[in-house]
C-alpha cells in the first residue's frame, strides 16, 4: 500500500537540500509540482538560483576530503543502512512517485522503489570491490601500483521519467566511490530526489555528501555544469540537451557521462513465438506510458508474421486500462504533463499524413479528460525515414514495419541516430546470436524487452551517449586511475639518466 502524506506541509521549508537541511530557493521564480492524473497543483516551490548551486557545490567540496578518505568498508556500512532506510520509506516513496509522475502505483511499488533499494544494496557491496591491475615490477627498477580515486564533486542532472531511479543511478556509484554530489532533478519532479537525500542523511551519510538543487535546466543546470568547483558532470536526459551540456562542460575540461535518448528497435524474426512477441511489444512500448529511454518504439516484423503481429498488438492494446494511478486495476497512467501529451499527439497527428493509425491516436474523454492521458497507439505503414520511426516520441506509441531478409531487419534496426537498447525475437539461437552481435546498442535483449538489474551496465552507443550506469562498470565513470611508481634501486644516478647525461651519467 502507498503511504500518503501532505507534500506542501512536508516541504514547507523549500525544495533545496543543502548540507543536510531543507531550504528555499532564491531565484525569484516558482515552480508548480502537478499531479498529471488530474492537472492539480500539489506543491509549489521557489526554484534554485545560482546562489543555491554555489552553496551546494561549496558544501559538497567541504564534505569531499573526509568522505573520500573514509574506508570502503565505512562507506559500505552507510550504504547498507541507506538501503534499509529506503526500504522502510517504500510506501511514501511509491506514493510520491505516482503522485508526481502519474505512474500506476503497481509500477512505482514493484519497479521504481525496489529497484532503487536494490541499487543501494548493490553499491554497498560494490564499494568494497574497486578493481585495478596488480602492483608489481613492470620495470626492473620500479614498483608500480594503481590507485583508484574519486574524482571530486560530481554535478548530476536527471530527467523526469524515473526521478527516484535516476537519482539512485546517478548518486549511488558516485558516493560509493568516495565522491560528493550535487544532484539537480528535473524541476517538475523534485519530490523523490529530496526524499532520497533525506533518507541518506537518516542513514548517516555526512552532511554535504549529497545535495539537491531543484532548479531549472537553463539557469541552475547550466550554472552547475559550468561551475569550476565541479569536477565531473553526469547527465541523463535528451540528446539535444546533452549536446549543450557537453559544450559547457568542455569549457572547464570536466569529465562527462552522458546517458541520452533512445529509439529502441524490437526485431521479430519469422520463427518467433508470436504470443510472446505481441505481449513483449505491448508491455515494452507502454511501460511508464512509453516514457522510458529503452521502450520498444520501432517493431520490425518479418513479413510472414507482420499482419498477425499488428492484429495481436492492436487487440492487446485495446485491453489496457487507463485510469487513476492509485487504482490497483490501472495499467496505464497519464503522461508526465499536458505539454508532453500534446507533444506526443503532435507526432501522431503528423503521422496520419503518411501512415495508418491502427489503434489509439487520441486522448480519452470523460473522467480522464482532465489528466494528461493518451491512448496506447499503434502505427503501421510508416516509411523507415519518417519522423514517427526516427524521432524519440516518449509516449505510448509503437510503429510497426515489415522486413524480408534477416540482413534487412538488422540494417533497419541500426538505422537511427540512437543506440541505447534493442531486442531480438526468435527461437533460433544463431539468428539471435547474430542480432546481439550486429545491433549497435548498449543492451540487446533476446526474447524480452525492458528488464534491468543492478549488476549489469546500462548505457548507450551512438547519439544515446556514453558511459555506464549501474554495475561495477559505473566505477569507470566515477573514479580516476592513478599510477604510482616507486624507485626501488635507491641510487642517485639512475640507469635511464644516460638519455640526458650520456657517458657522464
Ligand atoms: P531533458 O533533456 O529535457 O532534461 C533532462 C534534465 O536536464 C532536466 O533536469 C532538465 O532540467 C535539465 N536541463 C534542461 N536544459 C538544460 C541545460 N541547458 N543545461 C543543463 N541542464 C538542463 O530530458 P527530459 O525531458 O527530462 O527526459 C527525457 C529524456 O531523457 C529522453 O530523451 C530520454 O530518452 C532521456 N533518458 C535517458 C536515459 C538513459 O539512461 N539514457 C534514462 C532516462 C531518460
- Render pLDDT for 376-420 as a digit per residue (tens, 0 to 9): 999 999 999 999 999 999 999 999 999 999 999 999 999 999 999
Q: What does the DSSP 8-state code read for residue 59? A: H
> Same domain for 335 and 213?
no
- Closest atom of ligand 1 relative to the 186 alpha carbon: 9
- Closest atom of ligand 1 relative to the 239 alpha carbon: 32
> Same domain for 225 and 307?
no
Give percent above pLDDT 70 in the chain: 100
Rounded distance from Cα 485 to ligand 1 centre (Å)? 42
- Closest atom of ligand 1 relative to the 184 alpha carbon: 9
> Same domain for 282 and 138?
no
Hey, what's the cell of 430? Answer: 544463431
94 assigned to some structural domain: yes
Q: What pLDDT is recorded for position 2?
A: 85
pLDDT reading at 457 higher than 90? yes
Q: Determine which residue's CA is closest to atom 15 belonging to ligand 1.
A: 217
286 assigned to some structural domain: yes
**Taking a C-beta distance cutoff of 8 angstroms, is the pair 229, 137 a contact?**
no
- Dihedrals phi, psi of 419, to nearest 5 degrees: -160, 50
Give percent above pLDDT 90 in the chain: 99
Distance CA 332, CA 286 (A): 7
- Mean pLDDT along residues 26-45: 98
Listed in sequence order, the DSSP H helices in 372-489 are: 387-390, 406-413, 429-438, 474-478
Clarify whether 275 is annotated catalytic: no
Give the domain CATH number at 335: 3.40.309.10
Rounded distance from Cα 432 to ligand 1 centre (Å)? 32
> Same domain for 123 and 141?
yes
- Mean pLDDT along residues 131-151: 96
Clarify whether 101 is annotated catalytic: no
Name the nearest CA neighbour of 416 among 275, 262, 299, 209. 262
Distance CA 86, CA 88 (A): 5
Give the domain CATH number at 70: 3.40.605.10
Q: What pLDDT is recorded for position 102?
A: 98
pLDDT reading at 179 higher than 80? yes
Distance CA 57, CA 182 (A): 6
> Same domain for 286 and 232?
no
Q: Determine which residue's CA is closest to atom 35 belonging to ligand 1.
A: 237
Using DSSP's 3-state secondary structure scheme, residue 361 falls into coil
Rounded distance from Cα 106 to ligand 1 centre (Å)? 25
Ligand 1 pocket test: pick from 173, 241, 442 the residue with the most ligand atoms within 8 Å of its Cβ.
Answer: 241
CB neighbours of 504 closer than 8 A, spacing ≥ 6? none
Find the catalytic residue in 101, 187, 293, 392: 293
Rounded distance from Cα 466 to ligand 1 centre (Å)? 15
Give Cα separations from 237 to 49, 156, 162 (angstroms): 21, 11, 11
Q: Determine which residue's CA is closest to atom 16 belonging to ligand 1.
A: 217
Rounded distance from Cα 160 to ligand 1 centre (Å)? 7
pLDDT reading at 504 higher than 90? no
Placement of cell 540494417 in the chain = 411
- Closest atom of ligand 1 relative to the 261 alpha carbon: 34
Hey, what's the cell of 14? Answer: 523549500
pLDDT reading at 461 higher than 80? yes
Confidence of residue 503 (pLDDT cuts 50, 70, 90): confident
Rounded distance from Cα 132 to ligand 1 centre (Å)? 33
Rounded distance from Cα 161 to ligand 1 centre (Å)? 9
> Same domain for 426 and 412?
yes
Ligand 1 neighbours, Cβ below 6 Å, are 157-161, 184, 186-187, 217-218, 221-222, 225, 236-238, 241, 244-245, 259-262, 293, 392, 394, 420, 458, 460, 464-465
Q: Determine which residue's CA is closest to atom 12 belonging to ligand 1.
A: 217
Ligand 1 pocket test: pick from 159, 187, 450 the residue with the most ligand atoms within 8 Å of its Cβ.
Answer: 159
> Same domain for 93 and 226?
yes
- Mean pLDDT along residues 152-177: 98
- Mean pLDDT along residues 109-118: 98
Q: What pLDDT is recorded for position 505?
A: 73
Distance CA 60, CA 66 (A): 11
Helix pair angle (191-202, 72-88), 10° resolution:
120
Q: Determine which residue's CA is closest to atom 9 belonging to ligand 1.
A: 186
- Closest atom of ligand 1 relative to the 259 alpha carbon: 41
Distance CA 214, CA 44 (A): 12
Q: What pLDDT is recorded for position 81?
A: 98
- Mean pLDDT along residues 242-271: 97
491 assigned to some structural domain: no
Distance CA 13, CA 7 (A): 11
Rounded distance from Cα 211 to ligand 1 centre (Å)? 19
Q: Count CB atoms within 10 A of the CB of residue 499.
A: 9
Torsion of the alpha carbons at 145, 148, 152 and 157, rounded to the nearest 10: 150
Express each pLDDT in 277-333 by its tens digit.
Answer: 999 999 999 999 999 999 999 999 999 999 999 999 999 999 999 999 999 999 999
Q: Count CB atoms within 10 A of the CB of residue 447.
A: 15
Distance CA 58, CA 179 (A): 14
Tell me the pLDDT of the chain averaged across its residues: 97
Q: What pLDDT is recorded for position 1?
A: 73
Hey, what's the cell of 401? Answer: 514495419
Taking the chain, what is the end-to-end CA distance rounded to the nearest angstrom? 78
Find the catalytic residue in 52, 259, 392, 477: 259
457 assigned to some structural domain: no
Distance CA 45, CA 185 (A): 14
28 assigned to some structural domain: no
Q: Which residues pair with 212 in a beta bridge?
A: 17, 183
pLDDT reading at 39 higher than 90? yes
Hey, what's the cell of 159? Answer: 530527467
Number of domains in the chain: 2
For residue 381, the enclosing domain spans 264-446
- Closest atom of ligand 1 relative to the 458 alpha carbon: 40
Hey, what's the cell of 151? Answer: 574524482
> Same domain for 179 and 269?
no
Amino acid at each position: 500500500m502507498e503511504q500518503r502524506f501532505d507534500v506542501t506541509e512536508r516541504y514547507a521549508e523549500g525544495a533545496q537540500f543543502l548540507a543536510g537541511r531543507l531550504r528555499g530557493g532564491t531565484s525569484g521564480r516558482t515552480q508548480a509540482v502537478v499531479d498529471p492524473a488530474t492537472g492539480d497543483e500539489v506543491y509549489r516551490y521557489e526554484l534554485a538560483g545560482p546562489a543555491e548551486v554555489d552553496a551546494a557545490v561549496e558544501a559538497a567540496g567541504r564534505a569531499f576530503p573526509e568522505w573520500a578518505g573514509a574506508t570502503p568498508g565505512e562507506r559500505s556500512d552507510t550504504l547498507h543502512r541507506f538501503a534499509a532506510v529506503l526500504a522502510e520509506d517504500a510506501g511514501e516513496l511509491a506514493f510520491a512517485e505516482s503522485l508526481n509522475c502519474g505512474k500506476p502505483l503497481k509500477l512505482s511499488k514493484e519497479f521504481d522503489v525496489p529497484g532503487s533499494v536494490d541499487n543501494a544494496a548493490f553499491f554497498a557491496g560494490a564499494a568494497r570491490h574497486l578493481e585495478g591491475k596488480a602492483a608489481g615490477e613492470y620495470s626492473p627498477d620500479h614498483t608500480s601500483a594503481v590507485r583508484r580515486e574519486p574524482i571530486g564533486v560530481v554535478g548530476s542532472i536527471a530527467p523526469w521519467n524515473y526521478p527516484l531511479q535516476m537519482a539512485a543511478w546517478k548518486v549511488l556509484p558516485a558516493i560509493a566511490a568516495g565522491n560528493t554530489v550535487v544532484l539537480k532533478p528535473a524541476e517538475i519532479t523534485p519530490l523523490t530526489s529530496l526524499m532520497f537525500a533525506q533518507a541518506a542523511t537518516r542513514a548517516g551519510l555526512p552532511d554535504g555528501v549529497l545535495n539537491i538543487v531543484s532548479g531549472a535546466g537553463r539557469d541552475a543546470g547550466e550554472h552547475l555544469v559550468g561551475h569550476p568547483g565541479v569536477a565531473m558532470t553526469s547527465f541523463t536526459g535528451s540528446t539535444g540537451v546533452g549536446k549543450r551540456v557537453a559544450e559547457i562542460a568542455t569549457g572547464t575540461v570536466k569529465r562527462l557521462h552522458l546517458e541520452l535518448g533512445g529509439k529502441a528497435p524490437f526485431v521479430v524474426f519469422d520463427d518467433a513465438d508470436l504470443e510472446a512477441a505481441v505481449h513483449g511489444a505491448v508491455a515494452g512500448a507502454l511501460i511508464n506510458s512509453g516514457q522510458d529511454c529503452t521502450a520498444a518504439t520501432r517493431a520490425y516484423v518479418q513479413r510472414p508474421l507482420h499482419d498477425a503481429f499488428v492484429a495481436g498488438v492492436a487487440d492487446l492494446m485495446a485491453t489496457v486500462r487507463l485510469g487513476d494511478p492509485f487504482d490497483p486495476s490501472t495499467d496505464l497512467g497519464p503522461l508526465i504533463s499536458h505539454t508532453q501529451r500534446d507533444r506526443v499527439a503532435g507526432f501522431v497527428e503528423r503521422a496520419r499524413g503518411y501512415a495508418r493509425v491502427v489503434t489509439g491516436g487520441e486522448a480519452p474523454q470523460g473522467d480522464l479528460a482532465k489528466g494528461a492521458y493518451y491512448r496506447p497507439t499503434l502505427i503501421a505503414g510508416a516509411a523507415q525515414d519518417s519522423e514517427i520511426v526516427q524521432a524519440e516520441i516518449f509516449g505510448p506509441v509503437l510503429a510497426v514495419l515489415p522486413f524480408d531478409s534477416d540482413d534487412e531487419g538488422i540494417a533497419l534496426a541500426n538505422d537511427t541516430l540512437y543506440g541505447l537498447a534493442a531486442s531480438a525475437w526468435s527461437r533460433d539461437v544463431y539468428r539471435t546470436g547474430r542480432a546481439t552481435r550486429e545491433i549497435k546498442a548498449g543492451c540487446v535483449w533476446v526474447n524480452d524487452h525492458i528488464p534491468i538489474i543492478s549488476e549489469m551496465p546500462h548505457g548507450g552507443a551512438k547519439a544515446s551517449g556514453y558511459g555506464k550506469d549501474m554495475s561495477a562498470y559505473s566505477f569507470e565513470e566515477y573514479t580516476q586511475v592513478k599510477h604510482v611508481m616507486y624507485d626501488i634501486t635507491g641510487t642517485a644516478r639512475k640507469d635511464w639518466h644516460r638519455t640526458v647525461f650520456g657517458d657522464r651519467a
